[in-house]
Amino acid sequence: MNFPRSFCYRLAAVVTCVCIASSPLGTPTHAEEPASLKLVPADAAFYSASTRLREQYDAFIGSRAVAKLREMPIVQMGLALAQAQWNDPGGDLAPLKAMLEQPENKQLAGLLMDAVSHEVFVYGDEGFADLLGLMNEINRANQAAFRDLGAPGGSDPAERIAAEMSKIFAQHLDKAKVPDIVIGFRLSDTEPALAQLGRLEQLLGAVLAGQPELKQRLSRKQIAGGDFLTMQLDGSLIPWEAIAENVEFDFSEIRDKLNKMTASVAIGVKDQYLIVSIGDNNDHLVALGQGELLANRKELAPLKQHAQQQICAVTYVSEDFMKQANSSAQQLDQLVGVAEMFLPLIDLDAALQQQMLGDVRDLVADLKEAIPTPGAATSIAFTTARGYEGYSYNWGENKTLDASQPLTILDHVGGDPILLFAGRRKYSPDTYEAISKWIGRAIYYGEAIGVERLGAKEREFYQRVRDDLALLVKQLDQVTRDKVVPAFRDGQVAVVLDAKVTSKQWHEMLPPTEEPLPMLELGFVCGVSDAKLVKEAAAEYFQIVQKVIDTLHNAEPTTIPDLQLPPPDSREFPEGTVYYYRLPQALGLDKQIAPNAGLSKDTLVVALVPKTTVRLLGSTPVQAGVIAKHQGAAGAAMQFSLSRLIDAVAPWVDYAIKMSGADVDEAVLEQIHTGLEIAKCLREISTVTYQEDGVWVTHVETHFEDLPE
Residue-wise pLDDT tens digits, 648-681 = 999 999 999 888 877 778 888 888 999 999 999 9
Residue-wise pLDDT tens digits, 524-560 = 999 999 999 999 999 999 999 999 999 999 999 999 9
Local confidence band at 290 (pLDDT 50, 70, 90 cut-offs): very high
From the list 707, 651, 644, the residue with the least C-alpha distance to 677 is 707
pLDDT at position 521: 95
pLDDT at position 25: 36
Pairing type for strands 387-394 and 695-704 reads: antiparallel
Q: Return d(Cα 585, Cα 577) in angstroms, integer.
A: 24
Pairing type for strands 181-186 and 273-279 reads: antiparallel
Residue-wise pLDDT tens digits, 462-506 = 999 999 999 999 999 999 999 999 999 999 999 999 999 999 999
Question: What's the rounded mean pLDDT across residues 678-703?
Answer: 95
Residue-wise pLDDT tens digits, 6-41 = 333 333 333 333 333 333 333 334 456 899 999 999
pLDDT at position 325: 81
pLDDT at position 20: 35
Residue-wise pLDDT tens digits, 413-430 = 999 999 999 999 999 998
pTM: 0.87
Local confidence band at 370 (pLDDT 50, 70, 90 cut-offs): confident
349 class by beta-carbon count within 10 Å (0-12 exposed, 13-18 middle, 19+ buried): exposed
Q: Return d(Cα 112, Cα 192) in angstroms, integer.
A: 10
Q: Return d(Cα 163, Cα 153) in angstroms, integer.
A: 13
Local confidence band at 324 (pLDDT 50, 70, 90 cut-offs): confident
**H or E segment and range at residue 160:** helix 157-172
pLDDT at position 160: 64
Angle subtended by helix axes 642-660 and 666-679, to nearest 10: 160
From the list 591, 679, 685, the residue with the least C-alpha distance to 637 is 685
325 class by beta-carbon count within 10 Å (0-12 exposed, 13-18 middle, 19+ buried): middle
DSSP label at 458?
Answer: H
Question: What are the DSSP calls for 460-495, one per residue?
Answer: HHHHHHHHHHHHHHHHHHHHIIIIIHHHTTT-EEEE
Local confidence band at 509 (pLDDT 50, 70, 90 cut-offs): very high
pLDDT at position 154: 47
pLDDT at position 486: 96
Alpha-carbon distance values, 161 to 150, 153, 165, 172, 700 (Å) = 10, 11, 6, 17, 48
Contact, 519 vs 591, CB < 8 A?
no
Q: Return d(Cα 311, Cα 56) in angstroms, integer.
A: 11
Contact, 220 vs 136, CB < 8 A?
no
Could you tell me which residues come within 8 angstroms of residue 11 by beta carbon, excluding any fewer than 6 positions away? Answer: 3, 640, 642, 685
Range in 10-19, 96-105, 383-392, 511-520 with the lowest mean pLDDT? 10-19
Question: What's the rounded mean pLDDT across residues 143-163?
Answer: 58
Domain ranges of the chain: 121-315, 399-426+489-529+578-709
Question: What's the rounded mean pLDDT across residues 210-226?
Answer: 91
From the list 226, 202, 396, 223, the residue with the least C-alpha distance to 299 is 396
Highest mean pLDDT pick, 139-143, 171-175, 617-621: 617-621
Q: Return d(Cα 611, Cα 47) in angstroms, integer.
A: 49
Report which residue type is found at 587: L
Per-residue pLDDT for 151 more than 80? no
Local confidence band at 140 (pLDDT 50, 70, 90 cut-offs): low
- On the CB side of 230, CA atoms within 13 Å amount to 21
pLDDT at position 573: 96
Handedness of CA 333, 337, 340, 346 (dihedral sign): negative
Q: Return d(Cα 502, Cα 512) in angstroms, integer.
A: 12
pLDDT at position 684: 95
Q: Return d(Cα 397, Cα 695) in angstroms, integer.
A: 9
pLDDT at position 206: 92
Share of the chain above pLDDT 70, in %: 91
pLDDT at position 2: 38
Contact, 231 vs 217, CB < 8 A?
yes
425 class by beta-carbon count within 10 Å (0-12 exposed, 13-18 middle, 19+ buried): middle
Per-residue pLDDT for 520 more than 70? yes
Q: Return d(Cα 472, Cα 543) in angstroms, integer.
A: 10
Q: Return d(Cα 659, Cα 653) in angstroms, integer.
A: 10
* Distance from the first to the final alpha carbon of the chain: 35
562 class by beta-carbon count within 10 Å (0-12 exposed, 13-18 middle, 19+ buried): exposed
Pairing type for strands 262-270 and 226-234 reads: antiparallel
Q: Return d(Cα 672, Cα 663) in angstroms, integer.
A: 15
Q: Return d(Cα 277, Cα 265) in angstroms, integer.
A: 6
Could you tell me which residues come within 8 angstroms of residue 200 by beta carbon, excluding any fewer than 6 positions away? Answer: 229, 267
Per-residue pLDDT for 4 more than 60? no
Residue-wise pLDDT tens digits, 587-616 = 999 999 999 999 999 999 999 999 999 999
**H or E segment and range at residue 626:** helix 625-629
Contact, 185 vs 115, CB < 8 A?
yes
Higher pLDDT, 329 or 508: 508
Mean pLDDT, the chain, whole residue set? 88
Question: What's the rounded mean pLDDT across residues 354-367?
Answer: 90
From the list 514, 521, 526, the residue with the least C-alpha distance to 612 is 521
